[in-house]
A and B are shown apart, each in its own frame.
Chain A
Amino acid sequence: MGIEFSVSNYLHDLYISRLSSHPLYIFLSLFIALFCVIGIAEVLIYIFFRRGKEFYKRKRDADLKERIITMLANILVFNDHDDPKVVVSHFLPRFSRLPLYRKSIRKILVAELSNNHANFSGRSAEVLTELYLQLNLDKRARKNLNSRQWDKQIEAIRELTEMSIKDECDKVLKFTDAKHPQLRIEAQIAFVKLCADNPFRFLDTVKEPILDWHQLILFEVITKAETMARPRFAYWLNSANDSVVSFCLKFVEYYQQFDALPNLIYLLNHYNLKIRGAAIEILGRMEAEMAESHLVAVYPHQPQKIKEKILNTLGLIASGGCLSFLTSQAKSKEFPLRLAALRAIKAHRKDGREMLDTLYNEGVLQDRAIIKHILDGRIKA
């Protein structure tokens, strides 16, 4: 107690009585020290307060969640043949009694509705959408679409998409070319899900790049959707937006749209190496024999990475027409080209094997080693 008393006296003396008599650097040091003490105290209080609050919220939300899940289970098993409006009007009074003016409760209810909506289809999903609308839960999401905060906009877009509210399609379309990448991708996903008749309309207008990450996500969303119109993707292969071209190339391959082959061959001269490379790879995976002569013709003027891709593609096509060209490339001075050419020869099955035997017998020590390498099935091609 005595020590505490003297410490507080000393601090009083330091910070109040003698403050004006300190040199400037001590004055500033005292200020910084005070700032640090307050900062440290705030951090400690914040951490423990936050932990406590989280613990309380978790407990409270768990109880509420359980109650809402039970209520939703009742509505879902009610009667599958009734009109959704009739079912909802029967249960609406019970849901209306929930204190939905409280954000946390509204949030839990919307989350549960979305979860259930994602897991059910047909009449049950319609009932959930009807309930969502009749409880006016959509109002906030629609309002948040006009928010200036991108995260609020994303949450609104997600909520409306998960509840299949299709009348906001045009508003969502605007966001498909938003500057913020996360908002853009969310809008693009929402648009392909909501606008089932023309889900790729946004590709006509999008000026911002569809990043590789977004292409990958959109690709999975689109290819997993069961009912979605599949347009002719070659239409966008001459888009001024390179990312649209590379995005559509993936679908040309996935849906094996052979009518796009001439467009793919045209892309062999594309200025963007990434697109050129992708077009070459897809020609191979679609086994486009008609492209072989074009590939061989453009080969000499390409950078090494593209040359490698051309050789790999010739291996995938493996018509036999380019075997002599591949044999000439198997003697290249560049190791990666030699390896790719020998792999392509191997892909020619019987003819290729014979050619490899000949090259093995003619070859120097390193060539033989490479041939052994590519013939070993345990080594990844």
Chain B
Amino acid sequence: MWVFTIEAIVNNSIFFYALLLILICLGYVLISSIELGRYMRRNNYASYRELLISRHAPCVSVISPVANIQDDVVDHVRALLALQYNNFDIIVVNDGSTDNTLQNLRDFYQLEAVDFVSYEQIKTQPVQAYYKSRNLAFSKLTVIDKARGGEPDSLNAGLNASQSDLVLCIETHCVLDKNSLLKLVKPFLEEKTRVIAVGAAVHVANSGGRHKGHLLSTSFPKKLLPAFQAIEYFKSYLLERLTWSRLNGIHPISGAVGLFDKEILTECGGYSTKTSKEGFELMVRMSKYMHDNNLKYRTVYIPDPLCWIQAPARFSALSKQKNAWARGNFQTFWLHRDLFFNRKYGSLGLINFPFLFFLEGIIPLMKLLGVLVISGLVFTGQVNREYLGLLLAMIYLFAVFLSAVSVLFEERSYRPYSSLRDISKILVLIFIAPLIYHPLTVYWKIAALVRLRQ
């Protein structure tokens, strides 16, 4: 009787826990499919040609922090200069590079120091010099040389120097689609409520051909780790972020590409240097600011694949990245703990923020606890192995189903990896990922939590 009770409790717990997750995920699938359909139908008729040539296009500053990338920096800036938009400038912030990053920029773009005065609304590490090119072909480019302070600090220095209404913050290693600005600016112009931030889909381009900073072709990563990440990005961007965009909730704007309303961004104090996942923390802070000031707002996510990144291909690098992201999430939850169940912030405090905490913070712990308990019971023979196997099979099949749905969404929208070979490879990998990659993601989150405690 005693054995039966434990078995029943364990099996029922696993089932109801899995059922809860399944219902959440089905909610994601349902809402994101509606949003994706709506977006695709609306954008079917959108023409960007008018925005491209318009004198009324809002001014955008593209801010790109660079540090110790002497070999790539010239091509990186060249790709930015080739972006298709009528009214933009580029601010490259050299974050205390110790190699020839700055020198290469100075030589290639014929830079010389100028007497630039910026309105220091956000405190940053000291700026040593501002550079502009004497060649008119590069007049859009401003280079800031400052003491090392990290990526958020560099973005803040760029914000101080920007004179535009909108700022596009990007990472060094990302390659932007040449139409990125056109597509990112559109939501700022077409929403009735004030849009404070727009994010876009990020995809993995480890196996794509590159030439002078431009992406020539995109193919699905050949190596296993980047391939798993590519599939994870499908889910993260097309299911989760699209859902939260539809519900106007917080969805982390990726550090790789995000267009912001500069006024709100600076009023909020810019990027935080206190967390290791600035995008999420910033969105929470901006949302809080809008609530505090009784301002209506929207944060928008667009599913267009506008940004291509090099995903970590080595286990140690990926582990480090995931660890930092998970740590950043927990830091953000702690920094903004006043939001939890705070009626003042409406659905943001009552549902959205606690829900994200549940997903990011509680679920990994429950998974770990589940694994420990089940292992113990299996070891001591106190569990019906057939039923346990069936429950685990259900969880596995649902994970595969979810990945398949996200691949279907990509197939019906932009097809970042369009060849038949790529899609076949993806469809094989979605069966393997839950067995290898998903346990690792849980491990990274737990490890981050442990490190945070230390």
- Contact: A39 with B405, CB < 8 Å? yes
A223–B155 Cα gap in the complex (Å)? 38
- Contact: A373 with B390, CB < 8 Å? no
- Contact: B115 with A373, CB < 8 Å? yes
The stretch among A21-29, A95-103, A164-172 that forms the contact with chain B is A21-29
Per the 8 Å Cβ criterion, residues 119-135 of B in contact with A are: 119, 132-134
- Contact: A213 with B45, CB < 8 Å? no
Enumerate chain B residues within 8 angstroms of A39, measured Cβ to Cβ: 401, 404-405
| B365 interface contact, C-beta 8 A | no
- Contact: B45 with A154, CB < 8 Å? yes
Residue of B nearest to A34 (CB): B397
A43–B33 Cα gap in the complex (Å)? 14
Mark each residue of chain B from 111 to 150: 1 if its CB lies under 8 Å from any CB of chain A, else 0: 0101111010000000000001110000100100000000
- Contact: B50 with A373, CB < 8 Å? no
Mark each residue of chain B from 20 to 40: 1 if its CB lies under 8 Å from any CB of chain A, else 0: 001000000000000000000
- Contact: A47 with B190, CB < 8 Å? no
Mark each residue of chain A from 154 to 168: 1 if its CB lies under 8 Å from any CB of chain B, else 0: 100000000000000
Mark each residue of chain A from 204 to 218: 1 if its CB lies under 8 Å from any CB of chain B, else 0: 000001011111110
Residue of B nearest to A185 (CB): B45
Residue of B nearest to A29 (CB): B394
- Contact: B394 with A216, CB < 8 Å? no
- Contact: A29 with B390, CB < 8 Å? yes
- Contact: B189 with A213, CB < 8 Å? yes
Known: A29-B394, A212-B190. A378 touches B117 (CB 8 A): no
Known: A216-B57, A219-B56. A43 touches B405 (CB 8 A): yes
A22 CB to nearest chain B CB (Å): 8
Enumerate chain B residues within 8 angstroms of A37, measured Cβ to Cβ: 397
| B15 interface contact, C-beta 8 A | yes
| B447 interface contact, C-beta 8 A | no
A46–B423 Cα gap in the complex (Å)? 12
Residue of B nearest to A209 (CB): B192
B421 CB to nearest chain A CB (Å): 12
Known: A376-B114, A378-B139. A212 touches B189 (CB 8 A): yes
Enumerate chain B residues within 8 angstroms of A336, measured Cβ to Cβ: 119
Interface size on A, residues (CB 8 A): 49
A298–B64 Cα gap in the complex (Å)? 40
Enumerate chain A residues within 8 angstroms of B8, measured Cβ to Cβ: 23
| B71 interface contact, C-beta 8 A | no
A36–B390 Cα gap in the complex (Å)? 13
Known: A46-B408, A181-B190. A378 touches B132 (CB 8 A): yes
- Contact: A211 with B192, CB < 8 Å? yes
Enumerate chain A residues within 8 angstroms of B401, measured Cβ to Cβ: 35-36, 39-40
- Contact: B44 with A40, CB < 8 Å? no
| A369 interface contact, C-beta 8 A | yes
A215–B47 Cα gap in the complex (Å)? 13
- Contact: A36 with B398, CB < 8 Å? yes
Where chain B touches its partner, the secondary structure class is helix
Enumerate chain A residues within 8 angstroms of B50, measured Cβ to Cβ: 216-217, 219-221
Known: A25-B11, A186-B45, A373-B115. A47 touches B390 (CB 8 A): no
Residue of B nearest to A32 (CB): B394
A310 CB to nearest chain B CB (Å): 17
- Contact: B404 with A29, CB < 8 Å? no
A154–B190 Cα gap in the complex (Å)? 18
Enumerate chain B residues within 8 angstroms of A44, measured Cβ to Cβ: 404, 427
A359 CB to nearest chain B CB (Å): 14
| A379 interface contact, C-beta 8 A | yes
| B453 interface contact, C-beta 8 A | no
Q: B47, B133, B397, B411 — which one has the most chain A CB atoms within 10 A of its CB? A: B397
Q: Which among B15, B114, B189, B391 is the interface contact of A379 at CB below 8 angstroms?
A: B114
- Contact: A372 with B397, CB < 8 Å? no
| A380 interface contact, C-beta 8 A | yes
Enumerate chain B residues within 8 angstroms of A40, measured Cβ to Cβ: 397, 400-401, 404
- Contact: A250 with B56, CB < 8 Å? yes
A181–B420 Cα gap in the complex (Å)? 37
Enumerate chain A residues within 8 angstroms of B373, measured Cβ to Cβ: none
B38 CB to nearest chain A CB (Å): 11
- Contact: B132 with A379, CB < 8 Å? yes
A40–B119 Cα gap in the complex (Å)? 55
Residue of A nearest to B13 (CB): A25
Enumerate chain B residues within 8 angstroms of A286, measured Cβ to Cβ: none
- Contact: A211 with B190, CB < 8 Å? yes
A23–B14 Cα gap in the complex (Å)? 14
Mark each residue of chain A from 10 to 42: 1 if its CB lies under 8 Å from any CB of chain B, else 0: 000010000000010110111011011101100
Per the 8 Å Cβ criterion, residues 393-445 of B in contact with A are: 393-394, 397-398, 400-401, 404-405, 407-408, 411, 420, 423, 427
| A72 interface contact, C-beta 8 A | no
| B89 interface contact, C-beta 8 A | yes
Enumerate chain B residues within 8 angstroms of A47, measured Cβ to Cβ: 407-408, 411, 423, 427
Known: A29-B15, A151-B41. A220 touches B390 (CB 8 A): no
- Contact: A335 with B119, CB < 8 Å? yes
| A294 interface contact, C-beta 8 A | no
| B358 interface contact, C-beta 8 A | no
B124 CB to nearest chain A CB (Å): 16
Enumerate chain B residues within 8 angstroms of A50, measured Cβ to Cβ: 411
- Contact: B22 with A30, CB < 8 Å? no
Enumerate chain A residues within 8 angstroms of B119, measured Cβ to Cβ: 335-336, 339
| A273 interface contact, C-beta 8 A | no
- Contact: A43 with B117, CB < 8 Å? no
| A68 interface contact, C-beta 8 A | no
Enumerate chain B residues within 8 angstroms of A335, measured Cβ to Cβ: 119
- Contact: B54 with A219, CB < 8 Å? yes
Per the 8 Å Cβ criterion, residues 222-244 of B in contact with A are: none
Known: A25-B15, A44-B427, A378-B139. A216 touches B397 (CB 8 A): no
Known: A43-B404, A46-B408, A378-B139. A28 touches B15 (CB 8 A): yes
A246 CB to nearest chain B CB (Å): 10
A213–B47 Cα gap in the complex (Å)? 11
Per the 8 Å Cβ criterion, residues 245-265 of A in contact with B are: 250
A141–B44 Cα gap in the complex (Å)? 18
Enumerate chain A residues within 8 angstroms of B423, measured Cβ to Cβ: 47, 51
A217–B51 Cα gap in the complex (Å)? 7
Known: A33-B393, A219-B54, A221-B50. A151 touches B44 (CB 8 A): yes
Q: Which residues of A are in contact with B by a Cβ distance under 8 Å?
A: 14, 23, 25-26, 28-30, 32-33, 35-37, 39-40, 43-44, 46-47, 50-51, 151, 154, 181-182, 186, 209, 211-217, 219-221, 250, 335-336, 339, 366, 369-370, 372-373, 376, 378-380
Ranked nearest first, the 5 interchain pairs of A and B with the lowest CB-CB distance are A372-B115, A36-B397, A213-B189, A25-B15, A213-B190
Q: Which residues of B are in contact with A by a Cβ distance under 8 Å?
A: 8, 11-12, 15-16, 18-19, 22, 41-42, 44-45, 47, 50-51, 53-54, 56-57, 89, 112, 114-117, 119, 132-134, 139, 142, 163, 186, 188-192, 387, 390-391, 393-394, 397-398, 400-401, 404-405, 407-408, 411, 420, 423, 427
9 examples of A-B residue contacts, CB within 8 angstroms: A35-B401, A36-B400, A151-B41, A151-B44, A211-B190, A211-B191, A219-B56, A379-B116, A379-B142
Q: A26-B391, A366-B117 are in contact. List 4 more A-B contacts (CB 8 A).
A: A40-B400, A44-B404, A211-B190, A336-B119
